[in-house]
A = this chain, B = another copy of it.
Amino acid sequence: MSTYTAPLADMRFILNDVFDAPRFWQSQEALAHVDMDTVDMILEEMAKLSKNVLLPINQSGDEEGAVYQGDGVVSTPKGFKEAYQAYAEAGWIGLGGNPEYGGQGMPKMVTMLTEEMLFTTNQSFALYPNLTVGAALCLNSAASEAQKQKYLENMYAGIWSGTMCLTEPHAGTDLGIIKTKAVPNDDGSYQITGTKIFITGGEHDLSENIIHLVLAKTPNAPEGSKGISLFIVPKFLVNDDGSLGARNQLAAGAIEHKMGIKASATCVMNFDGATGWMIGEENTGLASMFIMMNYERVTMGLQGLGGTELAYQNAARYAVERAQGRSDTQIQSPEAPADAIIHHADVRRMLLNAKANAEASRCFAMYVAKQLDTEKFSADAEAAQTAATRVALLTPIAKAFLTDKALEATVDCQQVFGGHGYIREWGMEQIVRDTRIAQIYEGANGIQALDLLGRKVVRNEGKYMLAFVEEIRDYVASMQSTHAIKEATLRAATRIAELTHTVVDNSKAQPSDVNGCAVDYMHAAGYLCYAYMFAMMVEAAHDKTGDFYTHKAKLADYFVARILPRLEAHAAMVEAGSAVIMDFAVPYFDESAL
């Protein structure tokens, strides 16, 4: 029942007016091939594909789900094969890939927009190509030339797909304690043995081969995360001429039954002495994985944005059409027994929350994408280095804050439907269920917050954050617009600078403050990021005429008045510290001790 029209005007506004992407691309030699005409075509094609091919199988995919057929065979729901074929053949999987191996070399600033549309229309489907993109990214950055030549082209073409095999039953967040073993063979390959769980796309019927990237420990590897290596373990061995050889000793043992993203096959993968090849040096597996993860984590933020966008569009449509009660202020449809619920301010509040989140998160994802592209493509070493510090600082926010706000937004939009929001037929509850996963996987949001406050803030005494605050202050000082967002952003920046000093100090006396205040710090910082984004959008719109541009200012008004005050609550909770948390002894939580 869901409908969707890709918000191309908003996307172009952000690309052109807010971030001046064409000039950025022209200024970087490595991106000089990117031009707005091509990008426009890309956006329009994905808008069509996502609306016409992916959205129609979103709800049916949820109802049918991926199915474990036994004997290691997993089938995807009706229509997924054909959609995957169309998607792969149009070259979407290689859109951001390395041109040396058949990729199209588009920057993240472009691929993030196509990823948004993909996640908006079909979160389950999105994961199949997305994992391939991630695995290819990892290979491109860490694998040998021979390995790249062997695997990348077919992966970019979607003929083969990819996975990341990290988690084990006893080791989710804590990868240091994985047990999967990699024993060297005489020919330089390894025998991989172990069980991996939660493997997205671990098995399915969409591609001819599946290239698993597997974390494992070699014999005598150091304990913990310093002793982990990364391996290529294909489902079918690949012959030197690129043709498929024997079936490898690995198989899906089951798939999980989940709250949502039911059409995405989440597999238990058993490796029984499977043949694998090491990527990069021994014991550098985690580092290789994390290169990719910075990209993936922004993408999970885009999943949140996608859920929000689909939920918003459908809730807004419903609110305009559904008549219940009368407007408080004056009757709107005297000829009808009731007014449309869009006239109720509380309904609008829920819609505007979602809309503000969608626009701010899209803008923020673009900001981070620009930093990623600068880090990766810039010839200016200093600019690249500054961008790298922004990426390090902001990636956990892009993942965790965007997905936390996305759950809130999808729940609000579901609420607009009243009882119908709870009924599967209407599609809203699926968006909530699907979007929920983005807060959990790819590093649970609490872990992201800890990465932010622990590694990216406290460890360097707030240096990265204070530099970012300075950038914001400079930007605000340079604004031509006199909109209230200017003052509000400055105030928020000052508050976060103060808070950063406070938490750095506090954590010296009370080390548990890092862990115990991380999520609230992340939320406080997230609201500052959103304020900065609204400032940029307002500034980009302020000298232009037309509803589209005045709406940017109005939405920023809404943000300042009705969303930004939450920053202060989170800041106050950070300042209150973690002593009140650690004051409880473990048995308090132990039901068996009752």
Q: Is the CB of A515 within 8 A of B344?
A: yes
Question: Which residues A529-575 have CB closer than 8 A to chain B?
Answer: 547, 551, 554, 557-558, 560-563, 565-566, 568-569, 572-573
Question: Which residues A168-203 have CB closer than 8 A to chain B?
Answer: 170-174, 176-177, 197-198
> Min CB distance, A1 to chain B, in Å?
13
Q: Is the CB of B584 within 8 A of A257?
A: no
CA distance A558 to B583 in the complex (A): 9
| CB-based closest 4 A-B pairs | A345-B516, A561-B576, A259-B429, A565-B572
- Can you list 23 pairs linking A and B with CB atoms under 8 Å apart? A173-B324, A173-B418, A256-B423, A256-B425, A259-B424, A317-B590, A345-B517, A345-B581, A346-B450, A346-B515, A352-B584, A418-B440, A421-B440, A422-B441, A429-B436, A551-B584, A554-B580, A558-B583, A560-B580, A562-B581, A565-B569, A565-B576, A568-B568
A436 to B, closest residue via Cβ? B422
Is A351 part of the contact surface with B, judged by Cβ < 8 Å?
Answer: yes
Is A509 part of the contact surface with B, judged by Cβ < 8 Å?
Answer: no
Report A501-514 CB contacts with B as 1/0, cut-off 8 Å.
Answer: 00000000001111
Q: Which of A342, A565, A566 has the most CB of B within 10 A?
A: A565
With A345-B578, A419-B441 already in contact, the answer to whether A171 and B258 are too (CB < 8 A) is no
Q: Is the CB of B569 within 8 A of A446?
A: no
With A259-B432, A589-B320 already in contact, the answer to whether A519 and B349 are too (CB < 8 A) is yes
A351 — which chain B residues lie within 8 A by C-beta?
589
Contact of A338 among B177, B342, B557 (CB under 8 A): B177
With A558-B581, A576-B561 already in contact, the answer to whether A589 and B342 are too (CB < 8 A) is yes
Q: Which of A177, A422, A425, A513 has the most CB of B within 10 A?
A: A422
Question: Which residues A420-448 have CB closer than 8 A to chain B?
Answer: 420-425, 429, 432-433, 436-437, 439-441, 444-446
> Min CB distance, A530 to chain B, in Å?
15
> Min CB distance, A286 to chain B, in Å?
14
CA distance A432 to B425 in the complex (A): 19
Contact of A258 among B9, B422, B512, B583 (CB under 8 A): B422
A432 — which chain B residues lie within 8 A by C-beta?
259, 436
A517 — which chain B residues lie within 8 A by C-beta?
345
Q: Which of A348, A351, A577, A592 has the most CB of B within 10 A?
A: A348
> Min CB distance, A302 to chain B, in Å?
19
CA distance A9 to B433 in the complex (A): 35
Is A60 part of the contact surface with B, judged by Cβ < 8 Å?
Answer: no
Q: Is the CB of A437 within 8 A of B418?
A: no
Interface of A is mostly: helix
Is A594 part of the contact surface with B, judged by Cβ < 8 Å?
Answer: yes
CA distance A433 to B411 in the complex (A): 11
A516 to B, closest residue via Cβ? B345
Q: Is the CB of B257 within 8 A of A329?
A: no
Q: Is the CB of A566 within 8 A of B569?
A: yes
> Min CB distance, A60 to chain B, in Å?
14
Q: Is the CB of A423 within 8 A of B338?
A: no
Is A392 part of the contact surface with B, judged by Cβ < 8 Å?
Answer: no
CA distance A345 to B518 in the complex (A): 9
Q: Is the CB of B259 within 8 A of A167?
A: no
Is A382 part of the contact surface with B, judged by Cβ < 8 Å?
Answer: no
With A429-B259, A565-B572, A576-B565 already in contact, the answer to whether A589 and B348 are too (CB < 8 A) is yes
A343 — which chain B residues lie within 8 A by C-beta?
586
Q: Is the CB of B569 within 8 A of A512?
A: no
Q: Is the CB of A328 within 8 A of B511?
A: yes
Q: Which of A349, A411, A520, A578 has the most CB of B within 10 A?
A: A349
